[in-house]
């Protein structure tokens, strides 16, 4: 065995080699570990470099464990543990416990300077970790998180303009835009589709897939739960930015320091893994060159049409198959499998290209006419004495602190016909703190999201503005009302408002139902929304701290075809 080859006991799992960088700045990031230092020197002093090596080794052990799937964890838990001897770099020891609920606890101990007077130990833990199931075929994109092709299936949608979800927002469902940017600490639970770029700012996350026509950028501590398909390049940022699925990239792929891709990498161009424990847990298939820098690890095989370069501290646990050369640093790089330079394809495997995002159906604006001679004005702190009857009006103006009652109209054989619209206005303008009461009982009182006669439709030829601090209450009998966020969220499918101008919700004003606007869609701050939200020609700005829960519109589902 080569002197640089790692030796591991109690398991035949794949090898790993970690080059450890002495960096004091990482001590704080690893403060959760428990350090135990021992020396046999007369002074009792422990070499600082050994301490930091032990820290890195312990963290490398956790990263190594997380690169595997559920079957590996189950096997490790029955065996009790594993030790990886990295020669002159030290070793790490893993202990895995099965919690019986699909989660596992991992304890990793890094040891540097073993059996010397400067031996140092460091222990760190990952508790309650849920590994991925062992499923899927390498190179075969998953259908677990489909990217919708029907516009009604998106929570947020812009047709020709950028979409930005501002800081600390939550979007339940999928989003699409000409470009998509997620601000700090934004969570999108579904998939993201973009006609150009996608950018995830620090600590933002996507639960599903990304499909983009141009570059994808992931900054620090960002996360993608599914796959990435992009016709451009992919950059996975530093500090544990993570892609849980495989990536399919027409251009180049760059992993910054400690970035992780837990599936395969398919790249039409080059692939570069940065220093300090960047990780690809699957295989790499590259149409260009592949470079592994310090302490970068590929758990599987590497196939490159160009050259493969493993720099000092880089490790390929599987095979290295290149159309060009395979170069491994002689004092610290490692390929634990075979090295096969100048190999044709096949047997060298070419990357699988990214999926096309496909076309998305567009929202359909309705045709209607308001009555400018029939304006409705309610002054400050005045309430409508009774529900505003369904009909055709001009401008609706509320001075502020008003109660407004709207109700779904009579049964219609064709709910998409203009004669079936409940309310038509030329504009809507409400001052501060309006109270909106929505009666969804319809003619039969069923309050049924699947019953066309129960739609509440509002069409506005101009702009819509609701003032600060609006409240919304919902009723299924016209008498008993509940706050919208206490009502059955499925009822949001019955409410539809369309503006051929712009639509604005000011500070802390919510909405219940679907909004379609021709121009800009603006939610100022701390907006709570239940429904779906779309703009044809304008921008969409969610403001800070939005919460948006997806409910498909029954009206749009029937009438946008």
* pLDDT given at position 484: 95
Distance between CA atoms of residues 361 and 130, nearest Å = 37
Annotate 288-308 with DSSP letters as a single string.
Answer: S-EEE-TT-EESS-EEESS-E
Single pTM value for the model: 0.74
173-190 burial: b if 16+ Cβ within 10 Å, else e: bbbbbbbbbbbbbbbbbb
Distance between CA atoms of residues 299 and 293, nearest Å = 15
* pLDDT given at position 286: 98
Cα-based angle 231, 235, 240 (whole degrees, multiple of 5): 140
Distance between CA atoms of residues 266 and 263, nearest Å = 10
Return the CA Rg of the chain.
Answer: 29
* pLDDT given at position 5: 32
How buried is residue 115: exposed, middle or buried, by Cβ count under 10 Å (0-12/13-18/19+)? exposed
Q: Which token pair is 337? A: 């499998």
DSSP lists the bridge partners of residue 171 as 188, 548
Per-residue pLDDT of the chain (561 residues), as tens digits, is 333 333 333 333 333 333 333 232 333 333 333 333 333 333 344 456 677 777 877 877 787 777 677 877 887 888 777 776 654 557 778 899 999 888 999 999 988 876 666 677 888 888 889 887 754 334 556 666 667 778 889 999 998 889 999 888 999 999 999 999 999 999 999 999 999 999 999 999 999 999 999 999 999 999 999 999 999 999 998 888 999 999 999 999 999 999 999 999 999 999 999 988 899 999 999 999 999 999 999 999 999 999 999 999 999 999 999 999 999 998 889 999 999 999 998 889 999 999 988 888 888 898 888 888 899 988 887 765 568 899 999 999 998 888 999 988 766 777 788 888 889 999 999 999 999 999 988 756 567 776 656 689 999 999 999 999 999 999 988 889 999 999 999 999 999 999 999 999 999 999 999 999 999 999 988 899 999 999 999 989 898 899 999 999 988 988 887
Strand ranges in 90-204 using DSSP code E only, listed in sequence order:
91-98, 104-112, 120-129, 156-158, 163-165, 170-172, 175-177, 180-182, 187-188, 192-194, 198-200
* Sequence-distant (≥ 6) Cβ neighbours of residue 471 within 8 angstroms: 433, 434, 435, 436, 483, 510
């Amino acid at each position: 065995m080569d002197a640089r080859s790692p030796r591991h006991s109690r398991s035949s799992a794949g090898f790993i080699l970690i080059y450890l960088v002495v960096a004091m700045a990482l001590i704080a990031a690893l403060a959760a570990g428990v350090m135990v230092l021992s020396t046999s020197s007369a002074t009792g002093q422990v070499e600082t470099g050994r301490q930091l090596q032990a820290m890195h080794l312990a963290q490398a052990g956790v990263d190594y464990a997380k690169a595997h799937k559920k079957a590996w964890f189950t096997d490790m838990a029955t065996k009790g543990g594993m030790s990886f001897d990295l020669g002159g770099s030290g070793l790490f020891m893993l202990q895995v416990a099965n919690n019986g609920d699909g989660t596992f606890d991992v304890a990793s101990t890094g040891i540097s300077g073993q059996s010397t007077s400067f031996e140092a130990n460091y222990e760190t833990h990952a508790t309650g970790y849920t590994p991925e199931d062992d499923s899927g075929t390498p190179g075969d994109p998953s259908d677990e998180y489909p990217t919708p092709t029907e516009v009604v299936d998106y929570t947020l949608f812009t047709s020709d303009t950028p979409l930005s979800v501002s800081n600390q927002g939550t979007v339940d469902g999928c989003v699409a835009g000409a470009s998509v940017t997620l601000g700090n600490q934004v969570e999108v639970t579904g998939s993201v589709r973009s006609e150009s770029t996608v950018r995830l700012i620090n600590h933002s996350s996507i639960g599903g897939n990304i499909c983009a026509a141009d570059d994808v950028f992931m900054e620090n501590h960002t996360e993608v739960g599914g796959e990435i398909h992009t016709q451009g390049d992919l950059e996975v940022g530093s500090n544990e930015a993570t892609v849980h699925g495989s990536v399919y990239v027409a251009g180049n792929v760059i992993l910054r320091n400690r970035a992780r891709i837990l599936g395969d990498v398919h790249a039409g161009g080059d692939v570069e893994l940065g220093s300090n424990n960047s990780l690809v847990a699957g295989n790499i298939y590259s149409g260009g060159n592949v470079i592994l820098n310090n302490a970068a690890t590929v758990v599987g095989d590497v196939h490159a049409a160009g050259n493969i370069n493993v720099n000092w501290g880089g490790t390929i646990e599987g095979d290295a198959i290149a159309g060009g050369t395979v170069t491994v640093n002689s004092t610290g790089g490692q390929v634990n499998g075979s090295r096969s330079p100048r190999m044709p394809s096949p047997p060298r495997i070419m990357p699988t290209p990214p999926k096309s995002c496909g076309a998305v159906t567009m929202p359909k604006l309705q045709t209607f006419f308001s009555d400018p001679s029939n304006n409705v004005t309610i002054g400050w702190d005045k309430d409508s004495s009774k529900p505003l009857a369904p009909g055709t009006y001009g401008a609706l103006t509320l001075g502020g602190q008003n109660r407004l009652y709207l109700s779904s109209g009579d049964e219609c054989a064709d709910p998409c016909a203009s004669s079936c619209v409940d309310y038509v206005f030329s504009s809507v303008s409400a001052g501060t703190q309006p109270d909106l009461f929505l009666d969804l009982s319809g003619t039969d009182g069923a309050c049924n999201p699947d019953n066309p006669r129960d739609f509440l439709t509002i069409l506005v030829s101009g702009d819509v503005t609701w003032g600060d601090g609006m409240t919304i209450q919902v009723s299924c009998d016209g008498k008993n009302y509940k706050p919208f966020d206490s009502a059955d969220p499925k009822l949001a499918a019955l409410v539809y408002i369309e503006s051929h101008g712009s639509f604005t919700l000011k500070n802390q004003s919510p909405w219940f139902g679907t909004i379609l606007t021709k121009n800009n869609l603006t939610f100022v701050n701390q907006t709570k929304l239940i429904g779906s939200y779309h703009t044809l020609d304008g921008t969409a700005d969610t403001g800070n701290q939005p919460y948006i829960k997806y409910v498909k519109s029954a009206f749009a589902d029937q009438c946008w075809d």
